[in-house]
Amino acid sequence: MKTLHVNLGERSYDILIADRLLDRAGEEIKAVCPQARRLFVVTDSNVFPLYLTRLANSLTAAGFEMTALTVPAGESSKCVSELSGLWEKMLASGLTRTDAVVALGGGVVGDLAGFAAATALRGVDFVQIPTTLLAQVDSSVGGKVAIDLRAGKNLAGAFWQPKLVLMDPDTLNTLPDATFADGMAEVIKYGCIRDKEFFDFLRAHPTRAEIMANIESILYQCCDIKRSVVEEDERDTGSRMVLNFGHTIGHAYELSGHYEQWTHGQAVAAGMCAAAKLGVTLGLTPPELPGQIEAILVPLGLPTAIPCDGDTYAAAIGRDKKGAGADITLVLLDRMGHAVLRKLPKATLLQSIGALPM
Alpha-carbon span 141 to 37, nearest angstrom: 25
CA-nearest of 104, 46, 105, 101 to 72 is 46
Q: What is the DSSP string of 196-212?
A: HHHHHHHHH--SHHHHH
| pTM score of the predicted model | 0.94
Alpha-carbon span 248 to 331, nearest angstrom: 8
In order along its 358 residues, the chain shows pLDDT tens digits of 999 999 999 999 999 999 999 999 999 999 999 999 999 999 999 999 999 999 999 999 999 999 999 999 999 999 999 999 999 999 999 999 999 999 999 999 999 999 999 999 999 999 999 999 999 999 999 999 999 998 888 999 999 999 999 999 999 999 999 999 999 999 999 999 999 999 999 999 999 999 999 999 999 999 999 999 999 999 988 899 999 999 999 999 999 998 889 999 999 999 999 999 999 999 999 999 999 999 999 999 999 999 999 899 998 888 776 666 788 999 999 999 999 999 999 888 998 887 776 6
DSSP 3-state assignment of 316? helix
**Is 81 exposed, middle or buried (CB count within 10 Å of its CB: 0-12, 13-18, 19+)?**
exposed
Alpha-carbon span 322 to 307, nearest angstrom: 23
What separation in angstroms does the CA of 174 have from each of 104, 169, 291? 14, 10, 31
